[in-house]
Amino acid sequence: MSTISNGSLHLLAVPPVPERRERLRDEPVAGDKRVLLAAPRGYCAGVDRAVVAVEKALERYGSPVYVRKQIVHNVHVVSTLEKKGAIFVDEVGEVPRGSHLVFSAHGVSPAVVQGAADRDLQAIDATCPLVTKVHREATRFSRDDFHILLIGHEGHEEVEGTMGHAPERTTLVNSPDDVDTIDVPETERLVWLSQTTLSVDETMETVRRLRERFPHLQDPPSDDICYATQNRQVAVRKIAEGADLVIVVGSANSSNSVRLVEVALEYGAKAAYRVDYASEIRQEWLDGASTVGVTSGASVPEVLVQQVIDDLADAGYGDVKQVVTAEEDLMFSLPKELRRDLNGNQDSRGLGGRTRKLDWQTQ
């Protein structure tokens, strides 16, 4: 995403909502038309918490509230919060001294936290607790003299934040093919960690190849790929098996949304596309398609999925079956800085919760 200059600020530019195209046409296909709607899909607990944190900060402190980077990787969410008074910036140095600044769900390095403190910013840390868990692992392994092989995508904000917790002791592994060429110091104390939003299958392949090269490689204490990423990949696999087309709602910079397209293709979908908005669905994608799968990434509000369902109904896909592979009701409490300042107006959302895997069922 590019930045635009506005005086001394370099605001993150959000692409406009595409124009509405003509209604999709109901063209005949062989067989009955139907939609398989994946569940779980859409918002995870970390995204929900981060978005609510910005909304609550605006209510409590008034506009503007600054946000470093996109609070979550979704164009619609960012532009909606912008309209409510949030200002998205690239770096803490662009924020006026003393202002309120929210760190995004993807997390930040200790250097960014220090940079905010140096400018007397009132920081609100909306880092997903499951990303914070990886940060803690990186800090602990580094302190215990381990070298860390971090499986993740170069340039992703989460990867930058995690590497910042052990900058001298981390090597990034971008893909299975990287394994043969990465430069790793000679040590018996080697451990792998990962970004939270990767493809489970590809990560396991990377680990397999890492272990071939480094037989003494240690595993992390628990999964770093988070429950939401894993559950959405399992659900998309199930709908992809019988789908002529899979539509994934999610933004181009959303790692877990992009992975859902890849997983759909890998598990049998004849075609799969990612869209930010329903209006991006092209008539020709539906040519000959009787079963259309629909899902969404972890940063996508359900309203965007419903618009896809409505547009597909125009094209004759009014028969919608939900395919449920897990039930989630996890919730995370708001960042502690907000809970403190909302004293008397407590976070009333339930906390904790669980995710229950199902064999799968249709509804």
CA 27 to each of CA 16, 272, 316: distance values in angstroms, whole numbers, following the listed order: 30, 20, 8
- Least distance in angstroms from the C-beta of 42 to ligand SF4: 11
Of the candidates 36, 39, 101, 105, which one interacts with ligand SF4 according to CB under 6 A? 105
Among the listed ranges 41-49, 60-68, 161-169, 170-178, the one in contact with ligand SF4 (CB under 6 A) is 41-49
DSSP string, 58-127: HHHH-S-EEEES-SSS-HHHHHHHHHTTEEEESSGGGSPTT-EEEEPTT---HHHHHHHHHTT-EEEE--
* Closest by CA position to 248, among listed 304, 291, 286: 304
Distance separating alpha carbons of residues 76 and 15, to the nearest angstrom: 9
Has 302 been annotated as catalytic? Answer: no
Of the candidates 12, 24, 39, 47, which one interacts with ligand SF4 according to CB under 6 A? 47
Distance separating alpha carbons of residues 328 and 64, to the nearest angstrom: 34
By CB under 6 A, is residue 44 in contact with ligand SF4?
yes
Q: Is 6 annotated as a binding residue?
A: no
Rank residues 99 and 230 by Cβ distance to ligand SF4 and give the closer one. 230
**Which is catalytic among the residues 158, 188, 212, 284?**
158
- Least distance in angstroms from the C-beta of 330 to ligand SF4: 8
Distance separating alpha carbons of residues 321 and 360, to the nearest angstrom: 12
Among the listed ranges 12-20, 40-48, 186-194, 235-243, the one in contact with ligand SF4 (CB under 6 A) is 40-48
Residues 190-219 vs ligand SF4: string with x where CB under 6 A? ------xx----------------------
Among the listed ranges 44-52, 62-70, 79-87, 286-294, the one in contact with ligand SF4 (CB under 6 A) is 44-52
Phi, psi (rounded to 5 degrees) for 14: -105, 125
By CB under 6 A, is residue 130 in contact with ligand SF4?
yes
**Residue 19 tokens, joined:** 């124009």
By CB under 6 A, is residue 296 in contact with ligand SF4?
no
Q: Is 253 annotated as a binding residue?
A: no
Among the listed ranges 39-47, 211-219, 234-242, 337-345, the one in contact with ligand SF4 (CB under 6 A) is 39-47
Q: Say whether 253 sits in a helix, a strand or coil.
A: coil
Contact indicator for 11, 90 with CB cutoff of 8 Å: no
Burial 242-280 (b: 16+ CB within 10 A, else e): ebbbbbbbbbeebbbbbbbbbbbebbebebbebbbbbeb
Q: Is 73 annotated as a binding residue?
A: yes
By CB under 6 A, is residue 325 in contact with ligand SF4?
no
By CB under 6 A, is residue 128 in contact with ligand SF4?
yes
Rank residues 42 and 115 by Cβ distance to ligand SF4 and give the closer one. 42
CA 17 to each of CA 14, 79, 279: distance values in angstroms, whole numbers, following the listed order: 9, 9, 9
Interface with ligand SF4 (CB under 6 A): 44-47, 105, 128, 130-131, 196-197, 226, 228-229, 256, 298
**What are the binding residues for [4Fe-4S] cluster?**
44, 128, 226
Residues that are catalytic: 158
